[in-house]
Amino acid sequence: MITTNPFAQLNAQSPDIFTPGVMQTYIVLMILFVIAGTLFDVWHKKSAKYFSMNTEKGKKNAKREVNSAERKDMMVKTVTSEVLTSSEFSNPKRRLSHLLTMYGFIIFVATTAIMIFAYPTIADGTPAILPLLWHLGALMLCGGGYWFWFAIRVDVAAEGKPWYKIAPRADMFILSLLATCTFALLWSFTSGMGIFLILFVASATFLFSTVIWSKFAHMFFKPAAAFEKRVIQADGSNEGLPGDFDLSSKEVHEKFPDIPTYMGDTPADMGPGIRREPARHY
């Protein structure tokens, strides 16, 4: 079952409705939804304008210039660290859950498109690896996503809210991701049961058509923000925030001679502060 292309099977079950053309048009429509939603988001929230204003402000406050070789290096590091390994998450469980969700989604979407465009009918002879990866991608997303939903997200883990309490705008992305992959799997495992197909298509359409309101577009914006963060830390502008001072350093004591007045001659290491223990006191 997991080595059967569910879209070719769908075409075999209803050849007049689910023609290759209909399925391919649906994919193109979803891509257009994502492009239009992201562009509208950039225009409506003026995020591109804010981003370039912030970059200009950073340049003015920069303590040194970051050259193009350094920028290239930072770009590579952003891709290999923040993008490919979700390194922005310091909570290892959240990082692993994000990796499962992200790679699951990429594998699921890519294999859906390949199967629908290259092997839309049974006669095309889909290589078994494609449906296998499609099921694996959906399972990975469900694993990472349900873990996040029931145990990791801040509402449940820190604020003590029950898992079924929904904030529609904030949760529409994760919930429509989960619904899409859950119904896709149920549809495939029940050999094409109609109700699961309807729910699968409805949730996928919701996921891709609500980019303007959901967190979908973060997958395009976050890499740019992560790169910018590296630049502002390297050029010293740091968004106007104070530096990270080491209270045991002689230079820091010379720069701020009143430290002993408030903290004694040998100030204690205050530790990671907010990260000292998980927030569970609401």
Interface with ligand HEM by CB under 6 A: which residues? 82-83, 88, 98, 101-102, 105-106, 173-174, 215, 218-219, 222-223, 226
Query: Which amino acid is located at 199 in the chain?
Result: L
Smaller CB separation from ligand HEM, 33 or 105: 105
* DSSP summary character for residue 275: G
Smaller CB separation from ligand HEM, 18 or 33: 33
**3 state DSSP class of 115:** helix
Least distance in angstroms from the C-beta of 109 to ligand HEM: 8
d(CA 157, CA 174): 16
**3 state DSSP class of 28:** helix
**3 state DSSP class of 25:** helix
Angle (CA) 9-199-154 rounded to 5° is 125
Least distance in angstroms from the C-beta of 98 to ligand HEM: 5
Smaller CB separation from ligand HEM, 270 or 274: 274
Q: How far is CA 23 from CA 118, 194, 235, in A?
A: 12, 16, 49
Least distance in angstroms from the C-beta of 21 to ligand HEM: 27
Smaller CB separation from ligand HEM, 99 or 247: 99
d(CA 216, CA 114): 22
Smaller CB separation from ligand HEM, 8 or 157: 157
Smaller CB separation from ligand HEM, 185 or 226: 226
Least distance in angstroms from the C-beta of 210 to ligand HEM: 13
Report whether 170 contacts 41 (CB < 8 A).
Answer: no
d(CA 9, CA 23): 12
Least distance in angstroms from the C-beta of 192 to ligand HEM: 26
**3 state DSSP class of 190:** coil
Least distance in angstroms from the C-beta of 165 to ligand HEM: 13
